[in-house]
Structure 1
Amino acid sequence: MTLSRRQLLQGVGAGVGTGLLGTTASRSASASSTASDTRRVFVHPRDGLLGNLLDVVEAVGGTTVLEYDNFDFVVAAVPENRLDDLLSATGVAAVEEDDETGIPDDWNPSLLDVLLPPDRSDCSTHPDQRASWGHERIGVTDVEPDGTGVDIGILDTGIQTDHCSLEVAGGRNFTAAGPPGDYEDRHGHGTHVAGIAAAVDNELGVVGAAPNANCYAVKVLDDEGRGRYSELVAGIDWCISNDVEIISMSLGGETESDTLAEAIETAHGEGHLLLSAAGNEGNPGDGSCDAATMTYPATHENVVAVAATDEDDSLASYSSVGAAVDLLAPGTDIVSSVADNEYAEASGTSMACPFVTGVAALVWERSEADGPGPNEAVRQTLAETAEPVLETCDAHGLVDARAALGKDGAVDDEPASATDQDGERAGNRLTAALEWLADAITSFLEWLRGVVR
C-alpha cells in the first residue's frame, strides 16, 4: 500500500558507525524532550530479525511498549527529535506511525424501557427473550446450527462478563484501561456487538446469531471507544496464539497501515477468518456501492467487509461503501445487550458486522474443522449464497444463513448457482405467502363463527 510521509516513515538502515545511534548533540537534545514530543511507532527490523532492536530503541531514548508473539516488529514510544536517528540505525528497516482506530463518536444506543429488568443484577427479573428483526431477516432463527465449538474473538471495548444474556469464554485487555485480565466493557459497544453475534439462548433478553459459540472479549478499545492500531494488532496476535477461529472487528481507522496489513495477512494465512465493519462515513444515497467511504481495515482484501441495511433492505444512509464491500447485513435499530446488564437499540455497520460473524460461525461449525483452517471456504460460501437485495449494488448481497448452510446444514464446497438460489428463494417466499394466507383465512373464519353465534 502507498502511504503518505506522515503515515509511513520509511528508512533503510544504512549503518551509523558501529551501529550506535546519532551524534552527541542529538543525544543531548533527546534528554530535554518532553512526553508531549514522544511519537508512538511500529519499528520493523531488517530481514525480520529482532536482534538488538530493543537496545536500538533504548539508545534513542525510547521505550518499547509492545512486543508480539507472532510478528517480528515492536511498538515503541520514541522522542520525536530522535526519529531520524532511529530510521538510520543499523538493523532497522522501517518505522510506521501507530495511528488511531475506534468506533464512531456519535454511536448512541437507546435504552429500551420495555426490556429494562426491575433488578438488573437478578437474571430472573430479565424480560423474555426476543430476536431482533435482523436475526429473523437473515434466517438464523430458522436453522439448527448454533455455533457449537467455534471461537469468536470480539475485538472491541470488552464485554460485560456477567450480563444475563451473555457467556464470555475468556479474553484479554490490550489497552491502558486496566490490567491484562480486565476485559470488562465500561462503554457498551463491545457488549452490544457480542450480543448480536453470540448472546446465549437462555430465554432471557436477546439471542445471538451463534448462541452456542465461544465468545472471547478481546479489549482493543478503551472505555471511550478509542484505540490504536498497535492494540488491534495485539488483539489479532492473541487470537492467533489462542486458535480463535473468527476475528470480528466493529471498528475502523482513517488511514491504512502496512503493519496492520502484515498482521491481517499472517492471521489469514493461518486460517483465521477476519471481518470488519465497513464504516459509518455515509454514501451518495442512491443505493450504489461505487463511492469510496470505507474505513480501515475493512478495505483490506483478506478482511470480510460488511455494510449495513435498513429494515426495508435498502442501504443505510450512514453506511460506508466501496469496491471492497463483501456483504450486507441488518444494521439499523438493532436490539442487543449493553453494559450494566441492560438492553438497547443501536445502529451502525458495527451492528451489521456481528450478524455476518455469527453466520460465519454457523457455517464454520458445519465444516467440522478443528481450529483455524477453512476461512476461504466459509468466506466463499457466505458470498455465493448471499441474497441480492440492491439492484445498484448487486455484487454485494445480504448474508443468508439458510442458503449458506444448505438443506443439510453442511458447508457447500460448490455453492448453488445464482439461478438455483433465486428459484429456492422464490419458492420460500411463495410458501411463506401461502402460510400467511392460510392463517388469515383461518382467523377470518373464526371471527365469522363468533359473529354468527
Structure 2
Amino acid sequence: MTLSRRQLLRCVGVGVSVSVVGNSASASPPSPSTTDTRRVFVHPRNGLLGDLLGVIEAVGGRTLLEYDNFEFVVVEVPSNRLEELTNAAAVAFVEDDGETEIPDDWSPSLLELLLPPDRSDCSTHPDQRTSWGLERIGADEVDADGSGVDIGVLDTGIQTDHCSLEVAGGRNFTASGVPSDYEDRHGHGTHVAGIAAAVDNDLGIVGTAPNANLHAVKVLDDDGQGRYSELIAGIDWCLSNDIEIISMSLGGTEESATLAEAIEDAHAAGHLLLSAAGNEGNPGNGSCETETMTYPATHEDVLAVAAMDDDGRLASYSSVGDAVDLLAPGTDVNSTFVGNEYAEASGTSMACPFVTGVAALVWGNREKDGPGSNEAVRRTLTETAEPVLATCEEGHGLVDARAALEADTDGDGSPTDDDSLASDGQDSGLTDGGRDDGLVGRAGTALEWVSDAITGVLEWVRGLGR
C-alpha cells in the first residue's frame, strides 16, 4: 500500500518520537568528536526557512544542504539534541535521511561481439546493433527521435566521452565528489543512459530516443549508494534547469514524506518522473497482493516500470504491486558501458529507460518545448500500452512507441481530445453510433467549419426523427 503524503506526515511524527534519544537537552552544544549525530530533513513551520537557522545552530546542528525549489533543509544534529530540535516552535517536523541504491547483485556482462579493438578510437567500434528490447517496443520503426527533449538520468553518472553517447551536461550531488565531476565509475548510469538515448551514429548500439539531450545527474556514488537528500538534490537541479523528464533507475526500502514532497512539487511543475519498480522479485502467480516495489516507484506521481523477459513473461526478479504503471524489456539488454565498452545487463533499471526514451519521443512530438504536459504524455503511454500478461503485474501493459506516436496525431503530447470525442461520442452530442458528422478533426477555414457544423447538426436532428 502506498501512503499518501498526509499519512506519511502522521507516521513521521510517530517515528521521530520513538527514535530520539531520551536524554535531557544540554545547555551547550556537545563536542562533535564525542557525540553521535543524525542526518535529518528539517521542515519549517509556515515555510519560513530563515527561522530554522538559529534553531539548528542553537542545538549544535550543521546545515548540510539547502535547495532552490524546496522549503526544507538537510541537517546533521547531535542525536541527544534531536528531540529539542523536533519540538522547536519553528520546526514543522523532522525526518531521517533515507538511503537509496542500485541492487548489489547487478552484474553486467561485456559483449564480445561489440568489443572494439581500440576502445579509445571510435573508428574501431563495431557496427550498430539494435537491442531486442528496442525492437519489441517498436521504437526501431518510428521517425521521432526525441529532438529537443531533456532527460535527466539520476544515477551513478554517465561516461561523457563514450563513442555512442552525447552528454549535454550534468552535476554531481554525492557527498564524496565535486559538483562538476559527473563521470560514471560504476557502469550502471552509463548503461541506463544508452538504453534511453544512445546516439544513432552507426556504432555500437542505438537508444530509444537517440536525439534527446542526456544530462548526467550523479546522485549515487561509485559504489552505487546514495541518500534521499542527494536524490532530491538531483530532482531540484532538474527543476532549475527545465529538464522535462526525470529518470530514476534506483530505489530505497523506506517511504519518505520529504521525498514525496519533492516529487509532488516536480510533478506540479510539469516534469515527468519515472522509476524502476525494483528487483525484489514476485510470487509468480499473477497477483499484486504481495507488494515488493521500492520507493519512489510506489509514489502516485511517478511512472513505475516493471521488467519483462525476452519470452514475453514477467521477469522473475521484477518487483510487483498495485503502483506498477508499465512493463518494458529488462532482461539481457545490450547498452553502453564504462571504458567505452558495451555490456548486457538485466533489471528493472534497464526497463525504466526504455519508457523514458518513449516518453521523450512523445514529448518531442509536442509543439511546445519545456515542462508542462507530463500528464498528457503519461496518459499517452498508459492508454496505448500493449497488454501482454493480462495481470496486474504489468500495470497498463508493455510500452508501445509506435502506438503512442500514432495516438498523438496533433503533437500535444496525448491522444487528441478530438479523436477521443469522435470515438466515444461524449461532450459534443453530435456523434451517433460512430457516424462521421464532419465536426471532429477537420481542418479548414472558420467559414468552412461553421458550414460543416450546421450541416452536421441538421443531419443529427434528422436522425432523431428516424
Question: What range describes the TM-score normalised by the shorter chain of this pair?
Answer: 0.7 to 0.9
The CA distance in 2 between the partners of 1:347 and 1:182, in whole Å, is 27
The CA distance in 1 between the partners of 2:327 and 2:12, in whole Å, is 34
The CA distance in 1 between the partners of 2:334 and 2:405, in whole Å, is 25
Match of 2:16 among 9, 22, 39: 9
Amino acid at match of 1:58: E
Change over 3 Å in CA distance of 1:310–1:191 after alignment to 2: same
Amino acid at match of 1:413: T
Give the aligned partner of residue 397 of structure 1: 397
The CA distance in 2 between the partners of 1:332 and 1:395, in whole Å, is 18
Give the aligned partner of residue 50 of structure 2: 51
Shift of 1:35: 7.0
Give the aligned partner of residue 141 of structure 2: 142
The CA distance in 2 between the partners of 1:191 and 1:105, in whole Å, is 17
The answer on whether the counterparts of 1:153 and 1:239 sit within 8 Å (CA) in structure 2 is yes
Which deviates more from structure 2 when the two are superposed, residues 228-237 or residues 399-408?
399-408
The answer on whether the counterparts of 2:291 and 2:320 sit within 8 Å (CA) in structure 1 is yes
The CA distance in 1 between the partners of 2:300 and 2:193, in whole Å, is 24
The CA distance in 2 between the partners of 1:147 and 1:370, in whole Å, is 11
Shift of 1:395: 4.4
Amino acid at match of 2:76: A
The CA distance in 2 between the partners of 1:270 and 1:175, in whole Å, is 25
Give the aligned partner of residue 297 of structure 2: 298
Give the aligned partner of residue 221 of structure 1: 220
Shift of 1:62: 1.2
Aligned pairs, number: 407
Change over 3 Å in CA distance of 1:336–1:26 after alignment to 2: same
Change over 3 Å in CA distance of 1:25–1:313 after alignment to 2: closer
The CA distance in 1 between the partners of 2:12 and 2:36, in whole Å, is 18
The CA distance in 2 between the partners of 1:298 and 1:37, in whole Å, is 32
Deviations along 1:328-384, one digit per CA (max 9) or x if unpaired, are 000000010011111100000000000000000000011222200110000000000
The CA distance in 1 between the partners of 2:380 and 2:418, in whole Å, is 6
The answer on whether the counterparts of 1:283 and 1:318 sit within 8 Å (CA) in structure 2 is yes
Deviations along 1:401-447, one digit per CA (max 9) or x if unpaired, are 01000078644224988xx9xxxxxxxxxxxxxxxxxxxxxxxxxxx
The answer on whether the counterparts of 1:254 and 1:295 sit within 8 Å (CA) in structure 2 is yes
The answer on whether the counterparts of 2:153 and 2:217 sit within 8 Å (CA) in structure 1 is yes
Give the aligned partner of residue 289 of structure 1: 288
The CA distance in 1 between the partners of 2:35 and 2:353, in whole Å, is 37
Give the aligned partner of residue 185 of structure 1: 184
The CA distance in 2 between the partners of 1:249 and 1:415, in whole Å, is 34
Amino acid at match of 1:406: E
Which deviates more from structure 2 when the two are superposed, residues 56-65 or residues 379-388?
56-65
Deviations along 1:84-104, one digit per CA (max 9) or x if unpaired, are 111122211110000000111
Question: Superposition pairs for residues 205-220 of structure 1, below 5 Å?
Answer: 205-220=204-219
Give the match's secondary structure for 2:291.
coil
The CA distance in 1 between the partners of 2:277 and 2:418, in whole Å, is 25
Give the match's secondary structure for 1:379.
helix
Amino acid at match of 1:99: G
The CA distance in 2 between the partners of 1:351 and 1:7, in whole Å, is 37
* Structure 1 unpaired stretches of 5+: 12-22, 421-453
The CA distance in 1 between the partners of 2:362 and 2:196, in whole Å, is 13
The answer on whether the counterparts of 1:157 and 1:190 sit within 8 Å (CA) in structure 2 is yes
Shift of 1:222: 0.5
Shift of 1:178: 1.8
Shift of 1:8: 4.4
Question: Superposition pairs for residues 366-445 of structure 1, below 5 Å?
Answer: 366-393=365-392, 395-406=395-406, 410=411, 411-414=414-417
Shift of 1:114: 1.5
* Structure 2 unpaired stretches of 5+: 424-466
Which deviates more from structure 2 when the two are superposed, residues 162-171 or residues 36-45?
36-45
The CA distance in 2 between the partners of 1:223 and 1:344, in whole Å, is 18
Amino acid at match of 2:416: D
Give the match's secondary structure for 1:177.
coil
The answer on whether the counterparts of 1:10 and 1:96 sit within 8 Å (CA) in structure 2 is no
Amino acid at match of 2:406: G
TM-score (norm: length of structure 1): 0.86
Give the aligned partner of residue 40 of structure 1: 39
Amino acid at match of 1:227: G
The CA distance in 2 between the partners of 1:274 and 1:408, in whole Å, is 20
Deviations along 1:268-303, one digit per CA (max 9) or x if unpaired, are 000000000000000001243342100000000000
Give the aligned partner of residue 237 of structure 2: 238
Give the aligned partner of residue 203 of structure 1: 202
Change over 3 Å in CA distance of 1:63–1:133 after alignment to 2: same
Large movers: runs of 4+ above 3 Å: 1-8, 32-36, 287-290, 407-411, 414-417
Change over 3 Å in CA distance of 1:120–1:163 after alignment to 2: same
User: Identity rate of aligned residues, in percent?
Assistant: 73
Amino acid at match of 2:102: I
Give the aligned partner of residue 122 of structure 1: 121
Shift of 1:216: 0.3
Change over 3 Å in CA distance of 1:211–1:10 after alignment to 2: farther
The answer on whether the counterparts of 1:7 and 1:97 sit within 8 Å (CA) in structure 2 is no
Give the match's secondary structure for 1:171.
strand
Change over 3 Å in CA distance of 1:321–1:89 after alignment to 2: same
Amino acid at match of 2:16: L
Amino acid at match of 2:293: M
Deviations along 1:302-337, one digit per CA (max 9) or x if unpaired, are 000000000011100000000000000000000100
Give the match's secondary structure for 2:270.
coil
Give the aligned partner of residue 167 of structure 1: 166
Change over 3 Å in CA distance of 1:10–1:201 after alignment to 2: farther
Q: CA RMSD in A?
A: 2.2
The answer on whether the counterparts of 1:9 and 1:95 sit within 8 Å (CA) in structure 2 is yes
Which deviates more from structure 2 when the two are superposed, residues 86-95 or residues 315-324?
86-95
The answer on whether the counterparts of 1:250 and 1:350 sit within 8 Å (CA) in structure 2 is yes
Change over 3 Å in CA distance of 1:155–1:259 after alignment to 2: same
Give the aligned partner of residue 440 of structure 1: none
Give the aligned partner of residue 278 of structure 1: 277
Change over 3 Å in CA distance of 1:178–1:7 after alignment to 2: farther
Give the match's secondary structure for 2:199.
coil
The answer on whether the counterparts of 1:287 and 1:314 sit within 8 Å (CA) in structure 2 is no
Give the match's secondary structure for 1:31.
coil
Question: Superposition pairs for residues 58-73 of structure 1, below 5 Å?
Answer: 58-73=57-72
Which deviates more from structure 2 when the two are superposed, residues 392-401 or residues 77-86?
392-401
Change over 3 Å in CA distance of 1:96–1:220 after alignment to 2: same
Give the aligned partner of residue 459 of structure 2: none
Shift of 1:228: 0.4
Give the match's secondary structure for 2:193.
helix
The answer on whether the counterparts of 2:100 and 2:225 sit within 8 Å (CA) in structure 1 is yes
Amino acid at match of 1:412: P
Change over 3 Å in CA distance of 1:7–1:363 after alignment to 2: farther
The CA distance in 2 between the partners of 1:83 and 1:305, in whole Å, is 35
Amino acid at match of 2:159: Q
